[in-house]
Amino acid sequence: MRNGAAHSPGNSMENCRLLVVDDNPAVAEVAAAMVQSLGGEGRTTTRVSGLLDAIANWSPTHIAIDLAMPDIDGVEVMNMLARRRCSARIIICSGMAEEVLAAAMRTASANGLDVAGMLPKPFKLQQLKALLAARSPAAAAGNPLAGQVPATVKAPAPTPAELRRALESGAIFPMFMPKVECSSGKLAGFETSARWRHLPFGVLSAGQFIALAERSGLIAALTESINEQALSWLGRTYPSGSIGLTLRISPASLGDLALVDALTRHCEQAALDPHRVTLQISEAAAMSETANSLQLLTRLRIRGFKLSLGNFGVGYLSLAQLVRLPFSELIMDPSLCGAAGDTADGRAVAKAVVGLGKSLGLTVTAAGIESAERLLYFCELGCDCATGFFIAKPMEAAALTEWVSRLRGAVSNRWEKLLSGSL
């Protein structure tokens, strides 16, 4: 395994340590030499054993992985890194078609790896430099469009009894993810999701307990608690104006007609106009349309609430269903927004989805935005709003005041630069 030392003190790459995993030593040496020319360190290995040794003893900041290896392919390598919870940024290298690299990127991201991007062969210095210089979405500290959230931790599967006690004690609480207008960068509202402050395991994400709530019959109580807390906060913090709030509805709640009266009551108690509140259901839930769910959605619209279709683009909702259900907003799935920047096919699909939403008179929101380039792309496509880690991560209510203050102080100049392409 080759070892190169940094040689340019003060260079922005001086803390960069790139490990190149490639079965062709000559090709790997090229990438290692490139990072050294930029002032960082480069090492190469052709074997998995060398990869594991470097992770344990050298702690690379970036790992460039060739997809085509003779004894183990790049996807298997990434699965192994995911199991070991590797924190290095992953660069996917290959001479294969762009679509293959894009699919590998999505696979790595789905497994929880921090993917910097893809580097087609033959390597180009400027492409490698851009990937090494790009910050991880999780490390966007100082970005006025990026918020912080306590890290979640792995915990044993909770039980229904534990969840019931958590609801009774107030340990279930809302997190708020900011949504901004694409045309101006101004705050449009917040999307709400549930969290569980679990002792001793820290903050649990919704994905760790929502299915349990649905199976155990506690989803109605959980939904009631989150909605009441979130709407009360919005009424106190933004008693007037156009700042909106999006609340998620579980598929298991689509037959709960009592939800309409409960939401109306919470809005009255918080002195909120229902027009400022959007209820989001997933595309998968909309596909299982029933008489009760259609009645629920219709009654919500009659009361003045808005409806959004979330995760659009990953299911098989027919156009007939989309037109028949009374939606006011279409939220593009993060995987669809991610694919738009990876391949020509992905961009074509994203353009078609935005055009469909606009032709139906729906507000179109791009979700999962993780870079300025991706945000600019969807602004140019004509999206109305955007959310994602580049803008901000979900935050507790206490952290939002400071974030909103920083946004107002920076957004005008930042958005002008973004839309002009100079950001």
* Residue 360 DSSP class: T
DSSP string covering 61-113, please? Answer: SEEEEES--SSS-HHHHHHHHHHTT--SEEEEEESS-HHHHHHHHHHHHHTT-
What SS3 class is residue 405? helix
For the purposes of burial, counting CB atoms within 10 Å of the CB of 423, is it exposed (0-12), middle (13-18) or buried (19 or more)?
Answer: middle
* Residue 315 DSSP class: S
Q: Which of 5, 1, 4 is nearest to 46 (CA)?
A: 1
Return d(Cα 48, Cα 74) in angstroms, integer: 10
130-148 burial, b for 16+ CB within 10 Å, e for fewer? ebbeeeebeebeebbbbbe
**Do the beta carbons of residue 401 and residue 358 sit within 8 Å?**
no
Instruction: Please give the pLDDT value at position 400.
Output: 87
Q: Which two tokens stand for residue 342?
A: 């990876």
**Do the beta carbons of residue 261 and residue 274 sit within 8 Å?**
no
Report the amino acid identity of residue 320: A
Instruction: Please give the pLDDT value at position 154.
Output: 46
Question: How many distinct helices (H) and strands (E) make up the chain?
Answer: 16, 15
What SS3 class is residue 44? strand
Instruction: Please give the pLDDT value at position 10.
Output: 38
* Radius of gyration of the chain, Cα coordinates, nearest whole angstrom: 23
Cα 48–chain centre separation: 30
What SS3 class is residue 331? strand
Q: Tell how strand 17-21 and strand 62-66 pair up.
A: parallel
Sign of the dihedral defined by the CA atoms of residues 219, 220, 221, 223, in that order? positive
Cis peptide preceding 160, ω within 30 of 0: no
**Do the beta carbons of residue 278 and residue 231 sit within 8 Å?**
no
Instruction: Please give the pLDDT value at position 256.
Output: 87
Instruction: Please give the pLDDT value at position 151.
Output: 36
The pTM of this model reads 0.64
CA angle 362, 365, 371 (to 5 degrees): 160
Q: Which two tokens stand for residue 166?
A: 């958590």
* Residue 252 DSSP class: G
Phi and psi at residue 72, to the nearest 5°: -155, 130
Return d(Cα 80, Cα 49) in angstroms, integer: 12
Average confidence (pLDDT) per 10 residues, the chain, 423 residues: 41 80 87 90 88 88 83 78 86 73 73 82 84 63 38 62 93 94 90 86 85 94 96 95 94 88 96 96 73 83 92 70 84 77 77 90 92 87 92 88 74 60 53
DSSP string covering 58-71, please? Answer: T--SEEEEES--SS
| Residue 356, CA atoms < 13 Å, CB-side half-sphere | 16
Return d(Cα 256, Cα 248) in angstroms, integer: 14
